[in-house]
Amino acid sequence: MQTLLRTPLFDRHVALGARMVPFAGWEMPVQYEGVIPEHMAVRTDSGVFDVSHMGELEVEGPRAHELLQSTLSNDLRRLADGEAQYALLTNESGGIVDDLIVYRLSPFRFLLIVNAANREGDYEWLKEREIAGSDVRDISDEYALLAVQGPRSLERLGLGETAAFTFAEGEIDGIACMINRTGYTGEQGVELMVPAEDAPQLWDRVVERGATPAGLGARDTLRLEVCYPLHGNDIGPETDAISAGLGWVCALDKEFTGVGELRRVKEEGPQQKLAAFVMKERAIPRQGMPIEGGGEVTSGTHSPMLDRGIGMGYVPAERAAPDTELTIDVRGKPRRARVVKKPIYKREAGPSGGD
């Protein structure tokens, strides 16, 4: 049996009475008080997630830019220092090795924050493609990552409004950290990257400032309501970015791994598309459930905001248009759903709208 890894905040979670579960090789909090109250805290005020299991890779050197420009789907030339972008690491067939956020620290130094389960795979993938003048290092063990998310998150942390997908060195109550205006909830928020040894103190300060501890359960319901794909569920090495609806992070006018295949799919039109849907009947779709007429559910849950079952799944392209009726096989029972425009949940327009 493999031993589960623990983040620097493990003792904090246990002390808060969290229910700990294995996730991607880590022992992580799935919930503290409950998925729904934690979800609502993030939608209405602020929540704090320990996402230290995620991987951090640093790519440095005079040709670091070149290495990443040829392996990532998005166009790195659009990034200035202090800016970040969502990008995919693609394989030769246009499949998705991982989805990640790349941060430009300097013209010669980049940070990639990657999925926990893909940390080693991404590192090896980039190492194999390393060129003279680029160095890839896995610095994950040196850092913890706290996501503080919600319409009041910046105010709770005493931070001013800054643009989404920017970052800067800063401090929270005297604890130095990198403050990234990124997240996985559809709400305003930051991800705080902090040296592992300072993480427990930072967690305490953030909780004292009023952010509700939230677990992986709420993280999943929050991201699915706003249709952020989860690698391993909705996207993976066998699914291409165009079919997944991620063409907007693929710069097809530059050369990168698998771009030829992606251009072809774009040109011909994808056969399947990742559609978002809301159940019309009382039922909760779950990963792997067949969709009548072809395809299956890749992510499904109960939406606390809609109080309904919601999900995403690949369906034949002609059935992916909003308002198309789908029938999902919920453990042998046909249950009707309606395709909706992404995101499934969108905050009413207001001064502190989501990113």
Partner 1 sequence: MAATETYPDELRYHPEHDWARIEGDEATLGITWYAQDSLGELVHFEPPDAGATIAKDASYGEVESVKAVSDLITPLSGEVIEVNQKVVDAPETVNEDPYGEGWLVRIRLSDPAEAEALLDAAAYRQLLQDA
Q: In what order do the strands lie in the sheet with 135-138?
A: 84-90, 96-106, 109-114, 55-60, 135-138
Phi–psi pair at 264, nearest 5 degrees: -65, -45
Per CB under 8 A, 301 contacts partner 1 = yes
Q: How many chain residues interact with partner 1 (CB under 8 A)?
A: 16
> Of 2 and 282, which CB lies nearer to partner 1 in the complex structure?
282
Per CB under 8 A, 311 contacts partner 1 = no
Unique residue bearing structure tokens 């690949």: 314
Per CB under 8 A, 332 contacts partner 1 = no
Unique residue bearing structure tokens 């559809």: 186
CA dihedral 304, 49, 87, 90 (to 10 degrees): -90
> Of 190 and 216, which CB lies nearer to partner 1 in the complex structure?
216
Per CB under 8 A, 52 contacts partner 1 = no
Minimum CB distance to partner 1, residue 186 (Å): 17
Query: What would the two tokens of residue 207 be?
Result: 């909780």
> Of 61 and 215, which CB lies nearer to partner 1 in the complex structure?
215
Per CB under 8 A, 336 contacts partner 1 = no
How far apart CA 31 and CA 18 sit, in angstroms, is 6
> Of 182 and 212, which CB lies nearer to partner 1 in the complex structure?
212
How far apart CA 124 and CA 237 sit, in angstroms, is 15
Minimum CB distance to partner 1, residue 217 (Å): 6
Among 185, 54, 58, smallest CA distance to 110 is for: 58
Minimum CB distance to partner 1, residue 40 (Å): 11
> Of 36 and 252, which CB lies nearer to partner 1 in the complex structure?
36
Q: Taking a C-beta distance cutoff of 8 angstroms, is the pair 62, 164 a contact?
A: no
Among residues 55, 95, 151, 217, the one that binds partner 1 under rule CB under 8 A? 217
How far apart CA 144 and CA 203 sit, in angstroms, is 10
Per CB under 8 A, 206 contacts partner 1 = no
Per CB under 8 A, 286 contacts partner 1 = yes
Strand bridging mode 47-50 / 212-213: parallel
> Of 140 and 303, which CB lies nearer to partner 1 in the complex structure?
303
Minimum CB distance to partner 1, residue 220 (Å): 8
How far apart CA 166 and CA 70 sit, in angstroms, is 23
Q: Taking a C-beta distance cutoff of 8 angstroms, is the pair 177, 202 a contact?
A: yes
Per CB under 8 A, 196 contacts partner 1 = no
Per CB under 8 A, 284 contacts partner 1 = yes
Per CB under 8 A, 309 contacts partner 1 = yes
Neighbours of 21 (CB within 10 A): 15
Per CB under 8 A, 61 contacts partner 1 = no
How far apart CA 234 and CA 220 sit, in angstroms, is 12
Minimum CB distance to partner 1, residue 313 (Å): 18
Neighbours of 271 (CB within 10 A): 12
Among residues 302, 310, 326, 339, the one that binds partner 1 under rule CB under 8 A? 302
Q: Where does this chain touch partner 1 (CB under 8 A) — which range of 31-39, 146-154, 183-191, 249-257?
A: 31-39
Among 201, 228, 196, 257, smallest CA distance to 67 is for: 257
Among residues 9, 28, 35, 337, the one that binds partner 1 under rule CB under 8 A? 35
Among residues 36, 207, 252, 278, the one that binds partner 1 under rule CB under 8 A? 36
Contact residues: partner 1, CB under 8 A: 30-31, 34-36, 217, 221, 282-284, 286, 301-302, 304, 309, 331
